[in-house]
Every structure is written in structure tokens, then in C-alpha cells.
Amino acid sequence: MSTINIDHVDAGFSDTTQASQQVFRLGLHVFARPGTLVEVPSDAVAPKGIGAAANALLLALLDQDVSLYLAPQRSAAATYYRFHTGCTLASIPSEADFVFVGIEDEMPSVETLKMGTEYAPDESATMVREVSLIEVGVGMTLTGPGIQTETRLMVPELDTAFAQTRSEIASLLPRGVDIFLTCANQLCGLPRSTRIGV
Amino acid sequence: MSAVTTLDPAINLDTGYNFAYLDERTKRMIRRAILKAVAIPGYQVPFGSREMPLPYGWGTGGIQVTASIIGRHDVLKVIDQGADDTVNAVNIRRFFQRTTGVVTTERTVEATLIQTRHRIPETPLQENQIIVYQVPIPEPLAKLEPREAETKKMHGLSEYGLMHVKLYEDIAKFGYIATTYDYPVMVDDRYLMAPSPIPKFDNPKMNMNPALQLFGAGREKRIYAIPPYTKVESLAFDDHPFEVQRWQQHCALCGAKESFLDEVITDDQGGRMFLCSDTDFCQERRGEVASTAALVERPLSGSV
Amino acid sequence: MYVAVKGGERAIANSHLLVSEARRGDPAIPELTLAQIEKQLRLAVDRVMTEGSVYDRELAALAIKQAAGDAVEAIFLLRAYRATLPRFGYTEPVDTLSMQLRRRISATFKDLPGGQVLGPTYDYTQRLLDFSLAADGAAVAKPEINTAMAENESSSVMALLGHEELIEPQPISAGDPEPNDITRTPLTFPTSRAERLQNLARGDEGYLLAMAYSTQRGYANNHPFAGEIRFGTVEVEMIPEELGFPIVVGELELTECQMVNQFTGSKTKPPQFTRGYGVAFGHSERKAMAMSLVDRALRAEELGEAVVAPAQMQEFVLSHADNLEASGFVQHLKLPHYVDFQSELELVRKMRQVQADQVGAAS
């Protein structure tokens, strides 16, 4: 990896140990209860175009053992995560363990991401998707593990094309991709086990 | 936090270790495994289990899971056989007191995080509680097929005929299924899962439980999970429905009839008595716990 | 009347005091120093380092002292210490050909370049208790010759056989990928040889010895010959990212065993001997030799041999080789299991009742 000019890297967590635990715990909470919205506290300075929640999540979960895909224009963010977490950078989404997609980034097709195998479905990508709005109680219906009866979720970026692709890959379960939805400091989970209806 | 009860003398935070003992990179690896486990309910995620300062087989999987999720504001309860005062429970609680300084409790209702060996508390678990099970053998098929290369295929194909045959052979031989603990369950209609050696009495508690259930097997290097409100079904046949243990006796201390009872030998003349295995449940019923003021409203699951 | 058992914390604390007292023994006897353990119990130190997967003689000596000489307990202490240490990087492969030799023997040739160097070994001692050691302070006679050999003076037996292609070349996986680190990513079956060798290197010596022995008694016959066993010092090199070339960061003592085994061949491929490999920290010939036999047995599938014996079964051998895992799980039976036992008790009573009722109804 090329050397990093640390003069131009923004600050990560001031207390990595405690902040990572808190952010992970919120991530665990929303993955275990899809459709629940939480606010993520973070004192890290996020790279431009990456919301506080998405940034905190990436800072908390990445390290030398995993790779991250960022849209090609996000070179400052690439330097930032390389520096703070030691993660490697994937040049194409299909090779990445973590895929960040910003509002203005092109959304890679979910079916091209790592989905694991039927024997090792865990060897799959986790997507962190920054969106313009997350509204709970309206929109598509969510059912499945973590949801007592059903819940509703409205996200403008997750359009009918997304719903179509996701219902297609749902037939490949347990293979799949797990998604964190973020909007500024808000965080919501959409693991593969969640069934989406319209 | 004075309202929280604890049975141990003060144990001070040992600042010579990282918070919760594990190094940050190990925690991240385990946290990623836990997230995948939650996303694929009942599937055993392999993880790079570390040697812990407690022996394999003594709760190292549960300890690694707990160490990776615990935060400063958690209230921890540790039980073994349903009791807070058994040596293994005492030792593990002590480990977390030393390495995290968190508040511990014996009371199920006060805990945000419960690590357990062999029981699920009688007091129903709540939303925002997490229960961590210590698991010796995570593979439900291991007794029938010890080769992981083979069981991996069965899980991949959701091909569990072997287990059904075994249970049916029990019925043919004994008239009923002769498995009393670690009784296999199906999670979300997809994965056959070992519930850890809890008595089958506790199996129904797993179904649609509001709490998050995490399972750690350190020696076998696997983590798995049941999210809240997830269907968990104990295997059975139409003509042989699943049944749990019931006792003729009731608890000699609190009179409970509906809890899991331990048989205690009182003399060498065949004298015996029955007591609740869940010591907190029994004490609460006897009113032995000093009435506690309402706990401080706690943010999400120990996070701030 | 039943009294609920309380005060587990106090009982545990007291147990700690008792074990410390038992470890120290009679205070009238001088306490062991780490230097004494390190220098005078060197083979115990070597085993603890090998299976503890940490090369540090002083820490191993400390572990042995703390464990009152129980090797498996000492290995446990070292492993637990190692588990959460930060990892700075990976060294280059050590070059055992340029080992500073203290001992090198081959059973396959009477003599060979560099010679047979017996070095420090119990092999040719007569196993008679030496009562002179019972007395303190007996001076040790200086050996006549310095057994240390000059670097590169000896070529390896495997290379000698390799010249004629009589032995298979060192098998390297397609593309020579970075080996998977089994302490980070758990084994999944089937395993690569690199993973198997890592597992065997930290595996229990007694267990590997028994497995290796079984292969000699007909349970997967390897037809082994001790091609070469060497013990000595090797240099350890790392390539720092900022330098880009290797620098020596230290040296360590190793024992290496190259076992020459059962040949293979076919109509198209001329017969060749095959290899089994063993290595251990310090001076641990029993371990290195046992490992090389088991390694060879585990190559059965790769070499097209029928897998018929326990020592050839990857999952069986590798899943049970670690003495921490084995010792922990066997001894966890000491923990309370009364809830499960209660469940079984209830079931057995019920079964007996059903049977008694049936017998009663029949008569």
C-alpha cells in the first residue's frame, strides 16, 4: 500500500475501545431488530459524503483482516479508513467484505457482491448504504426474525429495482448480502433474513 | 447503581488488561462473526477463537462473545445450572469484574447481559436483554455424524433426515424420544441447531423470545444466534409431540410447581428434596431480595 | 436441612492460596529460579515453547515454575499469554539448510557430506540412574571436541536424493498461496498441508507419538526411514515494509526431521520416495519425528492411498491433537452438570416405571 500523508487524515474515534463497542452494540441492535432506527453517537470526523453513522460503523468494524470497497472518487475516504483501521481496499465491489455506497454513488448490483456459499453463507459482503431518508412505519413491509409481527420502512433509494433484485437473491438464502442503512447519524438494519413485501 | 444486588465482595478493575481482556482486533473479528450469525439465524459461523485464561470447555466461547459485546454500562449476570453462586459462574463473573469493572447482579430483571451455562432463567427475558450461552458441542448432528465435512453438507442442503431417523429410533425402542437436554431445534424453519445442554424444559423459552440469544463455542470455534422474535421449534412428530419435564413435587423453599427443580440428597437414607434450579427466581418468590428501587432507565443494551 | 451453598468467591480465593502454597512446597528448600529452569530443564522448556507456540525461554521457564512442572498447564499459560499479543508481521521462511548445527544424523546412509554429528543426545547413554547427580555441585567434564559445525558444511540428505530424483520434490500447493493461519481462521476440512503442519507443530507430543507409533504397527504403513534429523540454530529474518529487504531479527533453536517414506509411482511416472516433515522449537526429536510420520500418513488422500487407519484421517487426527482443547474438555466434566443429570434421572426413572408396569401387566 502506498504511504499515507497523515497531515490530511481527519480524526477517528477519540476512544477507540469504548466507541467501537458502543457503535457495534447499536449495529447489533438494529441487525437483531430490522426496521428499528437508532441514533449513533460519534466524535469521529467523517470523510466528505459519508454520514456520521456510516462512518462510525466502518471505523468500528474494519481492520486488517477485511477489505472495503468505496466508489473510485472517494480517495480521501480510502486514505482515512486505511489509516484508522488498516483495512485493505477492494478495487471492485465483488471482492469486498464491506461495501460503502453513498447517496450520489452508483449502487452496485446486490447480486454481484460476495454472497458466500450454501456451506459458508457467512463469507459474504456487508453493505453500508447511505440514504437521504429513513422513515419507519410507512412503506415496504418487513417480516422475519427480529420482527414480532411486521414493521414498515420507507427509503427513497431502495426503489422497486432494488426490491426486485433482493427478492431474487432471497431465493438463494442462506446465501446473501446484509445491509446497514444509514442517514446522517441514523442507523437501521436490513439483514438477509428480513422478508420484504410491498 | 446502589439498587443492583451483588453477591461478591468488591473486586477492583484490573487496569493491566485491555477493557474486557480481549485485544481490539480480536473483538472486531468476533463482532463481525456475531453480526453474520444474527443475519443467518441458527447457522454456525466459524471464528478465530482465542485461547482464554480459562480452560476450553469452561465457557471460553461464551466469554469471548460476552467480552466482545459488553460495555461499561452493562449490568452482567452469570449463571451456571441456573445458579449465580456455582464455581464456574463465580469465576466468570469475577473475570469480567476484574477486566471491565461493570456492575453485576443476581437478578434476572436487572441484567442487560446474561451469560449462562445449561439454563434459561425462569423469569421471562425482555427486549434489550442479551443472553449468551456457553456451548460445548455446537453441532447438533455431531453425535450422529462426527465429521464436520459431512455435517457442513447437511446444513447446506437443509438435509436433516439423519436426526429424524435417530429420534424415530428412540420412539421405536423406548416409546418416546430419549433426549432430555441439548434437544435439537429448528431455527426459522431453516437450520437445525443445538440449543446447548439446557434441559428440554427450557426449549420453549427460545421460541419468539424478545431477547437476543447468542451462542459461543470456544473450543469448537463457532458462534451462532437467534434474533429476538424468531421461530424456534423443538423437533417432534405429529404422533409424538414435544413435551417438557414436569415434577410431582414442588420447590421445598418457595413452593414453585412450574420451575425446573433440582433433586438434592439430604441424607444417606434416601431422603431428598426438590429445589428451584434458578436461584434468583426462587429468592424473588420468597421475597428474600430487598425491594429494589426502579433501575435507572438504561439506554439501548448497555450502549450510551 | 439443606443450606444453600454460598461464598463461592471466598472458596475460590482460598483455593488460589492453597495451590500457591502447594507449588512453593517446603519454604526451607530454596526457591527455583527461572534461570535454573531455563538452563537445567531445557527440554521441558523446549516442549512448552513448541506446544505453547511462543519462542521465549524465560517465559516458558516462568510458566513451568507457575505450573509446578505440569507441561500441559505451562503450555496453557503460554498460549493464553500469546493469544491477545499484537501481531507485527510475518517472518520469512527460516532456512534450515543454513542451520548452525549441533547435531545431525541420517539413518539412510552410513556416511554423508558433513558427517554424522551425534551432538548432545541421550540416545547412546545407558539408562542407569546417575547417583552422582544426587549430590550437588559435581563438576561436568568438558567434551573433547566442539560439536558445533560450520555453516553450510553439510548438504541435506533430501538434496542428495533429489539429485537423482529418487525423492519427490518438496510438494508446493498450486500457486504457492500464503498459508492460512490456523490461529486466526479455524480449520475446515479437507485441509491444506500447510494447515496440517501448523496443527501438528503445536499438537500434543504424547498424542502425536501414539499416532505415529500406530502407523508403524500396521495402521497405515509409511515404510519410514529417518532421512535426516538436525538440531541447531537458525536465523529469523523479516522484511520491514519501509526497507523492502530482509533483516535478521533474532535466532532460534530448531529440531527438524525429514522422513523418507514409501515410494509411489505408476506406469508413466518412475517410482520415487515420499516425504514426511516434522519441526519443533528447541531440541525435541521425539516430537519432530512423530510429527513427520503423522504428516506423511495424513498425505494419504493426496498420494492416492486408501484412508483406512486413524492416523490417515484428517478430521480425526487434527481435531484431537491440541492438548489445551482436549484437556479442557475432558476436565470440564468436573463442572456441575446437575441440571442435565436431573433430566436424565427423571427419564431413567420413567423408563423403569414403564417397564415395571409392562412386566406387572403381563404377569
pLDDT at C171 over 80: no
Question: Does B101 participate in catalysis according to the annotation?
Answer: no
Nearest partner of A190 among B205, C100, B227, judged by Cα: B227
- Output the DSSP codes for chain B: -TTS---SPP----TTSBTTBS-HHHHHHHHHHHHHHHHSTT--EE--PPP-SS-TTSSHHHHHHHHHH--TT-EEEEEETTBSSSHHHHHHHHHHHHHH--EE-S-GGG-SEEEEES---SSPP-TT-EEEEE-S---TTTTT---HHHHHHHHHHT--HHHHHHHHHHHHHHSS----BS--EEETTTEEE---S-BGGGHHHHTT-SSEEEEEETTTTEEEEE-SS--EEE--BTTB-------SS--TTT--SSS-EEEEE-STTS-EEEEES-HHHHHHHTT-SPPPPPPPP--GGG--
Whole-number average pLDDT of chain C: 89
pLDDT average, residue stretch C348-352: 88
Q: Has residue A2 got a pLDDT over 50? A: no
Active-site residue among B42, B61, B82, B218? B42
- What three-state secondary structure class fits C10? helix
Sheet order of strands, A186-190 included: A38-39, A186-190, A178-183, A126-130, A98-101, A67-69, A88-89
Query: B302 and B73 in contact (C-beta within 8 Å)?
Result: yes
* CA-based nearest residue in chain C for residue B57: C329
The pLDDT, as a whole number, for residue C271 is 86
What residues contact C332, with CB distance under 8 A and at least 6 apart? B55, B56, B57, B58, B136
Nearest C-alpha of chain B: how many angstroms from A2?
A: 23
Please give the ipTM for the structure prediction.
0.96
Give the pLDDT confidence of C254-290 residue by residue, as tens digits.
999 999 987 777 777 788 899 999 999 999 999 999 9
Helical ranges in chain C per DSSP H:
8-24, 34-40, 42-52, 57-66, 71-83, 157-163, 193-201, 205-216, 285-298, 314-319, 323-331, 338-362
Contacts of A30 in chain B (CB under 8 A): none
Nearest to A122 among B36, B70, B208 (CB): B36
Residue C151 in this model has a pLDDT that exceeds 60 = no
Low-confidence spans in chain B with pLDDT less than 50: 1-8, 290-304
Burial class (CB in 10 A: 0-12, 13-18, 19+), A100: buried
Interface B:C, Cβ pairs < 8 A? 153
pLDDT for residue B304: 35
The span from the CA of C310 to the CA of C183, in Å, is 24
Q: pLDDT at position A7, please?
A: 63
Whole-angstrom Cα distance, residue A34 to residue A41?
19
Burial environment of residue C29 by CB neighbours within 10 A (0 to 12, 13 to 18, 19 or more): exposed
As a whole number of angstroms, the distance between CA B44 and CA B33 comes to: 10
Each residue of C5-37: pLDDT tens digit? Answer: 455 678 888 889 999 999 999 999 999 999 999
Distance CA B9, CA B274 (A): 29
Which residues of chain A make contact with B25, given a CB cutoff of 8 A?
A: 63-65
Scanning every residue of chain A, which has its alpha carbon at the shortest distance from the alpha carbon of B150?
Answer: A119
Sign of CA dihedral A90, A95, A100, A106: positive
pLDDT digits (tens, 9 = 90+) for B268-297: 888 889 999 999 999 999 987 643 433 433
Pairing of strands A135-143, A126-130: unpaired
Q: Is B257 on the interface with A (CB under 8 A)?
A: no
Q: Please give the span between the terminal C-alpha atoms of chain C, in angstroms, as a whole number.
A: 42
Q: Taking a contact as any Cβ pair under 8 Å apart, which residues of chain B between 17 and 76 contact chain C? A: 18, 21-23, 25-26, 29, 46-53, 55-58, 60
Least-confidence region, from A185-194, B256-265, C38-47? B256-265
Instruction: Phi first, then psi: give them for residue B264, nearest 5 degrees.
Output: -115, 130
CA-based nearest residue in chain B for residue C355: B174
- Numbered residues of chain A with Cβ closer than 8 Å to any chain B Cβ: 16-18, 20-29, 31-33, 38, 41, 60-66, 117-122, 124, 126, 144-148, 173-174, 176, 178, 191-193
pLDDT > 90 in chain C, percent = 58
- Residues in B 22-51 with any Cβ partner in A closer than 8 A: 24-25, 27-29, 31-41, 43, 45-46
Chain-chain contact of B25 with C86 (C-beta, under 8 angstroms): yes
pLDDT tens-digit map of A37-56: 999 999 999 999 999 999 99
**A94-98, A159-163, B205-209, B219-223: the lowest-pLDDT one:** A159-163
Q: Is the pLDDT of residue C44 over 70?
A: yes
Q: What is the DSSP string of C50-82?
A: HHHT---HHHHHHHHHHTTT-HHHHHHHHHHHH
CA geometry: angle at C263 spanning C257 and C265, to 5°?
Answer: 140
CA distance, residue A17 to nearest chain B CA (Å): 7
Mean pLDDT of A138-148: 95
Task: Report the pLDDT value the prediction gives residue B226, as an integer from 0 to 100.
Answer: 98
Q: Assign residue C115 a region: left if phi > 0, alpha if psi is -120 to 50, beta otherwise?
A: left
- Set of cell numbers at residue C359: 412386566
Interface of C with B in 293-352 (CB under 8 A): 315, 319, 324-325, 327-332, 335-340, 342-347, 351
C96 near C234, Cβ under 8 Å?
yes
B260 to chain C: closest CA residue: C339
Q: Does the distance separating the beta carbons of B136 and C342 come in below 8 Å?
A: no
Per-residue 3-state assignment (H helix, E strand, C coil) for chain A: CCCCCHHHCCCCCCCHHHHHHHHHHHHHHHHHCCCCCEECCCCCCCCCCCCHHHHHHHHHHCCCCCEEECCCCCHHHHHHHHHHHCCEECCCHHHCCEEEECCCCCCCCHHHCCECCCCCCCCECEEEEECCCCEEEEEEEEECCCCCCCEEEECCCCCHHHHHHHHHHHCCCCCCCEEEEEECCEEEEECCCCEEEC
Contact residues on chain C for B277, CB-CB shorter than 8 A: 338-339, 342
Residue B98, C-beta contacts closer than 8 angstroms, at least 6 positions apart: B11, B12, B13, B14, B17
Question: By the 8 A CB rule, do C332 and B218 touch?
Answer: no
Residue B140 contacts residue B158 (beta carbons within 8 Å)? no
Domains of chain A: 16-193 (3.40.50.11310)
Chain B residue with CA closest to C79: the answer is B51
Specify whether the CB–CB gap between B103 and B65 falls below 8 A. no
CA-CA-CA-CA torsion sign (C52, C57, C60, C64): positive
Q: What are phi and psi of A139, to 5 degrees?
A: 90, -150
User: From the centroid of its chain, how far is CA A88?
Assistant: 17
pLDDT score at C7: 58
B71 catalytic residue (yes or no): no
The residue among B19, B40, B99 with the most chain A CBs within 10 A of its CB, best to mutate, is B40
| Nearest residue of chain C to residue B219 (CA atoms) | C325
pLDDT in tens, C98-145: 999 999 999 988 888 888 888 999 998 889 998 888 877 667 888 876
Using a CB-CB distance cutoff of 8 angstroms, which residues of chain C are in contact with residue B270? none
Inter-chain residue contact B229 with A27, CB threshold 8 Å: no
Could you give the 3-state DSSP secondary structure of residue C188? coil
Q: What are phi and psi of C334, to 5 degrees?
A: -75, -20
B59 catalytically annotated: no
Tell me if chain A has a CB within 8 Å of the CB of B147: no
